[in-house]
A and B are shown apart, each in its own frame.
Chain A
Amino acid sequence: MSIAPQVIEIIAQQALLEPSDVTEASTLEDLGIDSLGLVESIFAIEEAFDISVPFNANDPTEGDFDISTVGSIIKAVDALVKGQA
């Protein structure tokens, strides 16, 4: 499976939505995902792709992992997976 649908599925599950209701333009705020939900989503992404996401909940904007939209998360995960290969 390619990265985008998997990330969308993880985020949708966290937001208690259907994957079809989550678009790449959605922000986490739009989807009702709070800070705990974000941390749990990142954990699920790390598990699914066996990567380590550089994310610090004390300062979510720090680092290269851009969480501003679902699309930016997919792009960041893609980069991490490629970097690992």
Chain B
Amino acid sequence: MRRVVITGSGTINPLGNDVPTTLAAMREGRCGIGSLDIRDVDRLAVKIGGQVRDYDEQTHFNRQQISLYDRFTQFTLLAAKQAIDEAGISFSGELADRSGVVLGTSGGGLNTQDENYRAVYEEGKNRVHPFIVPKLMNNAAASHVSMQYNLRGPSFTVATACASSNHAMGQAFMMIRSGMADVMVTGGSESMLCFGGVKAWEGLRVMSKDACRPFSATRNGMVQGEGAGVFVFEEYDHAVKRGATILAEVAGFAMSSDASDIVTPSKQGAARAIAGALKDAKLNREDVGYINAHGTGTAANDKTECAAVADVFGAHADKLMMSSTKSMHGHLIGGTGAVELLACIMAVRDGIIAPTIGYEEADPECALDVVPNEAREAKVSAVLSNAFAFGGLNAVIALKSG
């Protein structure tokens, strides 16, 4: 069986505009959540979010690019550049044909949709810019990455709400492992922090108005974030032959569907995905030292997730660490698994476990070691990253040290 390793990583998210800044923030337990700076915020009940700050699209892209790149595409391209630069790879000839891009997003060009609904409904305009469709489509980001880097192999976009980027990275992993591709650019991106985007989430009444406190008894909901995480996944021999630095090995992946409810999570569905990832990675329960939790900070997710982990790991559940970095960067929805994979890489490569910040009070229904408030040094050889989406679609990735 072909092995798959990670040879490049890139990100832009509320904690930083690159990987080193983001990992430093995770080590320091810094919070990237703050007051939302968006149009009509005064009409929102939820006024906080994990926004990418001090971002000026004009410093990165020219006018013509901006007319085609929604914010979620811009984030993707910035993260992809970092990842491909770090991997030190360029794509031509046969390699280009055997390399592709699979990305996750949930809302796609939601800012573009929001702005144009305003134009036609609120302002009563009868004419819109000609590029609205190519700008808002969910596969725009994947297509622009493929065009920019000449990735001519299998390329598409995955939309499974909060599990989108884990599902995307899982596809990329399986494609390389099965021999369909040699190198895949993968991850995810999201940019839903616009009036319509936040207003829609408000309707569900699962959003916190003050902070994201996963696993804490005082938790009162999720906080939305935005940004992107992009990686270069590469077949092991290919990476070794060209002398690439290996950040971590992707050891296994599993998905499951709750097949029960459109929003309420299921312990069984989550447990089947976690157990499936262990089996696929040929890991024993005791091998896993850290889990990057889905950990949204909602009442339902956190207790269900802890129960699922306890079920799968038995007595070892009390020994492993499980944190939610959403406490720092917020929930990046379709991009969240990609940014969270950075915490997993930091765990297996650097031996640093990112904390769950904002933790105030123990909840007997979340009685695991959630690495409260402060990062920890610990040597771990295998880790999992959980993602459990609305719609009951679960995706869990296993990493090993490279």
Contact = CB atoms under 8 A, between A and B. Distances in A.
A46 B127 contact: yes
Contacts of A42: 130
Contact of A39 (B63, B64, B130): B130
A43 B129 contact: yes
Contacts of B130: 36, 39-40, 42-43
Contacts of A39: 130
Contacts of B131: 36, 40
A16 B129 contact: no
B127 A47 contact: yes
Interface string B117-140: 000000000010111000000000
Contact of A16 (B64, B67, B127): B64
* Chain A: interface size category: under 10
A40 B134 CA distance: 13
Interface string B43-63: 000000000000000000001
B64 A43 contact: no
Nearest to A37: B64
Contacts of A36: 130-131
B107 to A, nearest CB: 24
A32 to B, nearest CB: 12
A72 to B, nearest CB: 21
Contacts, number: 15
Contacts of A43: 127, 129-130
Interface in A26-67: 36, 39-40, 42-43, 46-47
A17 B123 CA distance: 32
Nearest to B64: A16
B143 to A, nearest CB: 14
Contacts of B64: 16
A46 B129 CA distance: 10
Contacts of A13: 63
Contacts of B63: 13
Contacts of A40: 67, 129-131
A47 B63 CA distance: 17
B55 to A, nearest CB: 24
B58 to A, nearest CB: 15
A38 B16 CA distance: 38
Contacts of A47: 127
Nearest to A46: B127
The listed residue with most A CB atoms (<10 A of its CB), out of B67, B127, B130, B131, is: B130
Nearest to B125: A47
B228 to A, nearest CB: 25
Contacts of B67: 40
A19 to B, nearest CB: 16
Nearest to A42: B130
Contacts of B129: 40, 43
Interface of A: 13, 16, 36, 39-40, 42-43, 46-47
Q: Which 6 pairs show the lowest CB-CB distances between chains A and B? A: A39-B130, A43-B130, A40-B130, A43-B129, A46-B127, A40-B67
Given A13-B63, A42-B130, 13 more contacts: A16-B64, A36-B130, A36-B131, A39-B130, A40-B67, A40-B129, A40-B130, A40-B131, A43-B127, A43-B129, A43-B130, A46-B127, A47-B127
5 contacts: A13-B63, A40-B130, A40-B131, A43-B130, A47-B127
